[in-house]
Structure 1
Amino acid sequence: MEIRSLCEAAPDRRPPAVNEDLVLTGPDFAVVLDGASPWPGAESGCLHDVPWLVKQLAVQLAPPLLAQSAAPLADLLAESIAAVRLSHADSCDISNPDSPSSTVSMVRLRRDHVEHLVLADSPVVMRSPGGQVAVHCDDRIAGLPDRTHEVVRRVRNQPGGFWVASVEPQAAYEAVVGTTDRADVDVIAVLSDGASRFTERYGHSWDELLDILTTDGPRRLIDRVREHDAVATTNRKKYDDVSVVLIQGP
């Protein structure tokens, strides 16, 4: 399969070009990490920022994926979270609920099937040769009764709440995981929520999103998202970092 990707910081970030997303791809895998922007004024208890956490997770995930480890994706993620936790447990308050965190979405191509893992709101979208679309998502954060700082910090990585990659390895086993027969997959998109908002916020279909990707590529999808962002009236985040991975072909 051909793998194409693009990862771009939100245009209103200060300083410019600071990106809390990260894309990691290899011959038979793709990973999208979307770091959670800290709440203004919140004390994380950590000496490190969100981009640091995202990069460290990628550093830990890359070796086993490149070595074509046979371990389940959830195990690889749990081991990566544990390793990152250990690396700063002596210098930071890892018990702080506001410790830096990230979504994780992974796809791994096997001879006969495709594996996916989705932790928090960065979906994996697949289309079959016959045009059927399957959206693999973890929408637990969308089900929160309130998105205030107090509510989010209380239910993050807690039963009945939502789960992200931060300091708790158990979060990996709360991810949405599954397999799909390779013959039933023609196109795969791995998206941060900055890209999936094209459908989830702006009302376009998943079919249209995949058509743009397969016809014009990741750059065009991001441009379309930015066009909507520029004129949107919302109290939610106007712009966001955007990550797109497109996998297609036999």
Structure 2
Amino acid sequence: MEITCATAPTPGTGDGDDYALTGNTWALVLDGATANGLPTGCSHTVAWYVRQLAGHLGTLLATTTVPLPEVLRAGIADLAAAHGQTCDMACPDSPSSTVAAARITSDLVELLVLCDSPILVLTHTGDVLVVIDTRTHHLPGYTPADLSKLRNSDSGFWVASARPEAADRAVTRTLPRAEVAAVAVLTDGASRLADHYGWSWEQLMHTLLEKGPAEVIRLTREQEAIKAPERGKPHDDATAIVIRLTS
């Protein structure tokens, strides 16, 4: 495989809360939830949570072959235990993250998406498949109080935080490796051209392959400078991993 990655924080900020990690046969991206000003019940930051979860998931992906939902369940559970006795794991606003992961075996391409970090797949027939969790697109409200009530509930949306059962609500798909030419694993900051600016998923996938992840992020920043998205932040951290498969 050939793996290419680009990441950029929100302009004018520090390192951001996205995180990308790859191995020889897998890739994952995480997008930490921006602090909303409500009490988190936790002594740790979103950045701490994202990096710790990436480490747990990366270790499991590198050392096990269990299905991706089991990897995510174990990672969330392990990290919840790592909080120690100082944090309230029942708080709905505990630090959290989206997760998108792809694993390529000799026979299969396994995909998992939890919350709004999509995965695109280019098949050898030229089709672009989208693996996406749209639950955050249809919420009854988007204020911090609304999101607090709806987070990690079947009437709202699910993210990786303190509840391992979130892994069971992830969107998953498995494809024969022989059908897949390339996979793109994105945070929602890198999918904005399709989510908010009128591009098709096909156009986004082909631009990622032909011009690279860094150029897609640059084009996204251009659009953000012209007009802010109708929903969400004016700018966002952006991360994209492109995996080209060989026979």
Measured against the shorter chain, the TM-score band is over 0.9
Distance 2:4 2:18 in 1: 16
2:69 to 74, 84, 103: 74
Alpha-carbon shift at residue 155 of structure 1 (Å): 1.4
1:60 matched to 2:60? no
CA deviations on 1:196-215 (whole Å, 9 max, x unpaired) are 11101011011111121111
- Equivalent of residue 244 in structure 1, options 220, 228, 240: 240
Q: Distance in 2 between matches of 1:71 and 1:179?
A: 14
Where in structure 2 are the equivalents of 1:91-170 lying within 5 Å? 91-170=86-165
Amino acid at match of 1:108: R
Q: Is this contact kept in 1: 2:41–2:89, CA < 8 A?
A: yes
C-alpha displacement at 1:89, in angstroms? 3.8
- Please tell me whether the aligned partners of residues 82 and 169 of structure 1 are also in contact (alpha carbons under 8 angstroms): yes
Q: Percent identity?
A: 41
Q: How far, CA to CA, are the matches of 1:245 and 1:111 in structure 2?
A: 20
Q: Provide the secondary structure at the position in 1 that maps to 2:242.
A: strand
Aligned positions, number: 245
CA displacement, residues 123-166 of structure 1 (integer Å, 9 cap, x when unaligned): 01001112101100011111101111121111111122110000
User: Residue 234 of structure 1: CA displacement?
Assistant: 4.6
Q: Distance in 2 between matches of 1:2 and 1:82?
A: 32
Gaps of 5+ in 1: none
Tell me, yes or no, if the aligned pair for 1:101 and 1:166 is still in contact at 8 Å. Answer: yes
Selected match of 1:222 from 217, 222, 235: 217
| 8 Å contact from structure 2 (residues 115, 158) kept in 1 | yes
3-state DSSP of counterpart to 2:38: coil
Kindly report which structure 2 residues correspond to 1:1-40, keeping only aligned pairs within 5 A, or say none: 1-13=1-13, 17-39=14-36
Give 1:88 shift.
0.9
SS for the counterpart of 1:212 is: helix
Counterpart residue number, 1:177: 172
Q: CA deviation at 1:233?
A: 3.8
How far apart are 1:226 and its partner, in Å?
A: 0.4
Q: TM-score, normalised by structure 1?
A: 0.95
Aligned residues of 1:133 and 1:207 also touching (Cα < 8 A)? yes
SS in 2 for 1:3: strand
Q: Which runs of 4+ in 1 moved over 6 A?
A: none
Q: CA RMSD in A?
A: 1.1
1:22-72 CA-partner distances (Å, limit 9, x unpaired)? 001010000000000011x311111111010001101111122112x1211
Letter of the 2:103 counterpart: R
User: 8 Å contact 1:32–1:104 — kept in the other structure?
Assistant: yes
SS of the equivalent of 1:195 reads coil
Q: Secondary structure at the match of 2:52?
A: helix
Please give the TM-score of this superposition, normalised by the length of structure 2. Answer: 0.96
CA distance in 2, matches of 1:4, 1:229: 24
Judge conservation of contact 1:123–1:138 (CA < 8 Å) in 2.
Answer: yes
- What do residues 99-131 of structure 1 show as CA deviations (whole Å, max 9, x unaligned)? 110000000001111000100000010011121
Between 163-172 and 1-10, report the one with greater CA deviation: 1-10
Query: Do the aligned partners of 1:12 and 1:239 also contact (CA within 8 Å) in 2?
Result: no
Query: What secondary structure does 2:88 align onto?
Result: coil
Paired AA for residue 65 in structure 1:
L
Distance 2:58 2:144 in 1: 32
1:199 aligns with 194
- Alignment check: 8 A CA contact 1:35 1:103 kept: yes
